[in-house]
Amino acid sequence: MEIKVLRNILEANDRAADEVRANLAAAGVTAFNLIGGPGSGKTSILEQTIPRLRDRRRVGVLEGDIATTRDAERIAALGVPVVQLLTGGGCHLEATFVARGLDELGMDGLDLAFIENVGNIACPAEFDLGETAKVGVLSVTEGHDKPAKYPLLFHEISALVLGKIDLLPHTDFDVEAFESDFRGLNPYAPVFPLSCRTGEGVAPFVDWLERVHEGTEIPVRRPRDQ
């Protein structure tokens, strides 16, 4: 007996993501899902941006990792609430996990929430977490070929941080090739070249985060269903 069905296999995750989105909206919280490879600088970017936001905005962080609380400790040192999400081997965060994390963090009294995904530029791109915007993090040491090699992530993101630009002279990172490839996947997302070492370029990224929170900038979201 053959049974015809047509179901989105990730619909349970997507339903949970819709619930997160509704809860965030009700609480007036803007959530950014940071996706980048291990060592791309996601936590360092938070260490640079949070102190610049802290005086004006109430910020909370969910730290996704496979193991250890090291990143959460770095964030806690900034004096903002943080909840560590340990996947115990899982390569990405899913919406139900984020929902529990946000409950623990407490959305009331927050303006911005950062969700630092597990270091990985393949799997996290597929899972809607209910975030306001996905922000890709790529460092110049990873190479300019990454957009072409991981097209889904670079297609889905609403903004890209291009990190470690202080190291540009020491790498073979080809900025033109990167731009051309990236724009072939995503003509809309703003790119923020920055260096956490020197602080160069951090301010425009912080301004963008604030504009998205204020609603003066609407991040492009790729539709989940086509």
Partner 1 sequence: MHELSIAQALVDQVEEARQANNGGRVISVRIRVGDWQQVVPEILTSYFGYLAQGTPLEAARIVIDPVAATARCYDCGRVFAVEDIFLICPDCESRRCTLLTGKELELTEVELDD
Binding site for partner 1 (CB under 8 A): 1-13, 89-92, 94, 122-123, 126-127, 148, 150-152, 155, 181, 183-185, 187, 222, 226
Nearer to partner 1, 80 or 125 (CB): 125
Shortest CB 3 distance to partner 1, Å: 5
- Would you call 6 exposed, middle or buried from its count of C-beta atoms within 10 A (0-12, 13-18, 19+)? exposed
Shortest CB 149 distance to partner 1, Å: 9
* Closest by CA position to 166, among listed 32, 16, 48: 48
Nearer to partner 1, 127 or 205 (CB): 127
Contact (CB, 8 A) for 157 and 33:
no
DSSP-derived 3-state class of residue 169: helix
Shortest CB 126 distance to partner 1, Å: 6
Shortest CB 2 distance to partner 1, Å: 5
Nearer to partner 1, 146 or 213 (CB): 146
Q: DSSP assignment, residue 125?
A: G
Nearer to partner 1, 45 or 125 (CB): 125
Shortest CB 10 distance to partner 1, Å: 6
Nearer to partner 1, 78 or 87 (CB): 87
CA distance 38 to 35: 10
CB environment 18-31: b (16+ within 10 A), e (fewer): eebbebbeebebbb
CA distance 208 to 222: 18
Q: Which residue has the tokens 């349970």?
A: 12
Rounded to the nearest 10 degrees, the angle between the axes of helix 202-214 and helix 42-53 is: 70
